[in-house]
A = this chain, B = another copy of it.
Amino acid sequence: MMNRSLSIALAQLNLLVGDIKGNTDRILRALKQQRGRADLVMFSELALCGYPPEDLLFRADFNQLCITQLARLQKASVHTAILVGHPWKQGDQLYNALSFFSEGKLLGRYFKQLLPNHSVFDEKRYFTPGNTSCIVEFKGYRLGMLICEDIWSPDPVDALKNLGAEVLLSINASPYHREKPYIRNQLLINHCKGTTLPLVYLNQVGVQDELIFDGCSKVFNAQGDLIHRLAAFSEESLVFNLKELASQQIAETAIDADHPLAQIYDALVMAVRDYVNKNGFKTAILGLSGGIDSALTLAIAVDALTAKNVQALMMPFRYTSEESINYARQQAQKQKIELKEIDIHPIFDAVMGQLAPFFADRKKDTTEENLQARCRGMLLMAMANKFGHIVLTTGNKSELAVGYSTLYGDMAGGFDVLKDVSKTLVFKLAKYRNARDGVEVIPQAVIDRPPSAELAPNQTDQDQLPPYAVLDKILEGYLEKDESVTDLVAQGCDEATVRKVIHLVDSNEHKRRQAAIGPRITCRDFGKDRRYPITNGFRHKDLAKD
């Protein structure tokens, strides 16, 4: 046993959900690249079809194509062994499976035992859980197989240890949120220490709709020391040999060394790039208002798509300040993007003119504010339709939470970059981006000025909302931790403010249901992660009464 040697390649790929044939081609290319360098190449969970395939899994044609393409992989394992995740239909049951192929033969097939059905996951909708551990003997090693959720409980890992596994191989499609890298890292270390086994953790990278997969695949030795780590938010491959694990140096760039803001920023950049490109767009357009949300969105878009593929529209109205126009122009210049300007007065006036017979005796209210936003949404969509751009929406999580946004107005667009980014985090990310390269891509004045929707004279957000620091504290507690009025008041929040904010959140569910999707960076976003009824009679005041 002293002469054992097993070199493993980790292929951390950015695959496309549903593109079974294309993904198979990608996997085959990655396999070929490792020929002669590695004995085994590992691919991520459901790599064959991408994760999560959602209701495509109900299609017989989809599952059929998975089976024929998997056969190509089996055949290709003649030179180099493959460990790959894929759906597997057996009779009436569908499994979240992995196959271990070597020399054209199936050495092991494992069915995921723990199926996540919480948060953004719906795996019990699709899969039957496996009930058997799987150890593959290969090149003198007993390799224990695990798929994603299996490591989030001690049972499957302990079962492998008891069955004599010597190494744990875990393939994953584990979505990112801002706390996830730390939680996951600690979990992996604990498994190594608990079992005294080395652990190879391979994760998917890339973005699928709202979900960001950060990659960050890792290799730990039996003491839980991090030996290798792959890139965050980009593709990478790595080859290492199991026999050298014990003697190797510990990697210096542990995940914890990354700046949390850098992680979030990079996550958003990858999200924009992937969503735009995977959906067949090359260019994006957004409304630039001179405010911080659109400024940050533009910076992210340029980092994701390059300046030549991003355009902005400034659409002033009578409440737009000179500063706003100047700041928008400054930023466009700094970022070298094309800025077009379209005055919305003639459109707004035409609409109001046609409505005049009906509005005659009515006071101004939010109707007119919404109209301004809708004139802008209409122009952005027209430019996007005519020139083939995608519209990037610029609303942040705080305003989406309280409904401080206009359906079919500023909410119009294909991808809401800051959908899960609170306003206080918007400020932090803007400062981070300016500091990162020492280049002020977002004019400092935009960061410093008081936020305003500029939909009425001298309006600022704080006229209608509590200060953002207060608002975001309440929102985080209410939305991400399910805290009650009582909980929030106990933390020092003003009760009337808490009740007002919660009321706004509850009564704006219908807007969020029609919102563009956007990347998830917190432990609970406005997407698959939060499934609230629109029609909702839950009144927090009832709690006090009884």
Contact = CB atoms under 8 A, between A and B. Distances in A.
Given A351-B379, A358-B340, A54 B531 contact: yes
Interface string A143-174: 00000000000000000000000000000000
A408 interface: yes
Interface string A315-358: 00000000000000000000000001011101101110111001
Interface string A245-279: 00000000000000000000000000000110011
Q: What copy number does this chain have within its complex? A: 2
B381 A538 contact: no
A308 interface: no
A533 to B, nearest CB: 5
Contact of A19 (B537, B540, B543): B537
A274 B533 CA distance: 14
A535 B17 contact: yes
A342 B118 CA distance: 49
Interface stretch (A230-238, A370-378, A432-440): A370-378
Interface string A28-66: 000000000000000000000010111110111110110
A342 B366 contact: no
Nearest to A386: B367
A147 B279 CA distance: 43
A130 interface: no
B358 A354 contact: no
Contacts of A52: 533
Contacts of A118: 125
A208 B535 contact: yes
Contacts of A21: 539, 542, 545-546
A122 interface: yes
Contact of A125 (B117, B353, B365, B366): B117
Interface stretch (A296-304, A468-476, A511-519): A511-519
A81 interface: no
Nearest to A355: B382
Given A358-B340, A482-B59, A533 B54 contact: yes
Contacts of A516: 514
Contact of A350 (B349, B359, B385, B510): B349
A385 B408 contact: no
A534 interface: yes
Nearest to A115: B124
B61 A382 contact: no
A68 B355 contact: no
Contacts of A546: 21, 65, 68-69, 72
B370 A536 contact: no
Nearest to A58: B482
A486 interface: yes
Interface in A379-433: 379, 381-383, 385-386, 407-408, 412, 414
Contacts of A382: 351, 355, 367, 370-371
A273 B516 CA distance: 28
17 contacts: A18-B538, A20-B538, A20-B542, A22-B537, A50-B537, A54-B532, A54-B533, A56-B532, A61-B484, A275-B535, A347-B347, A350-B350, A358-B383, A370-B385, A371-B382, A377-B408, A408-B412
For the complex of A and B, list the 4 residue pairs with the smallest distance between their C-beta atoms, beginning with the closest.
Answer: A19-B537, A18-B538, A350-B350, A61-B484
Given A122-B531, A347-B347, 5 more contacts: A18-B533, A59-B482, A350-B350, A355-B383, A377-B408
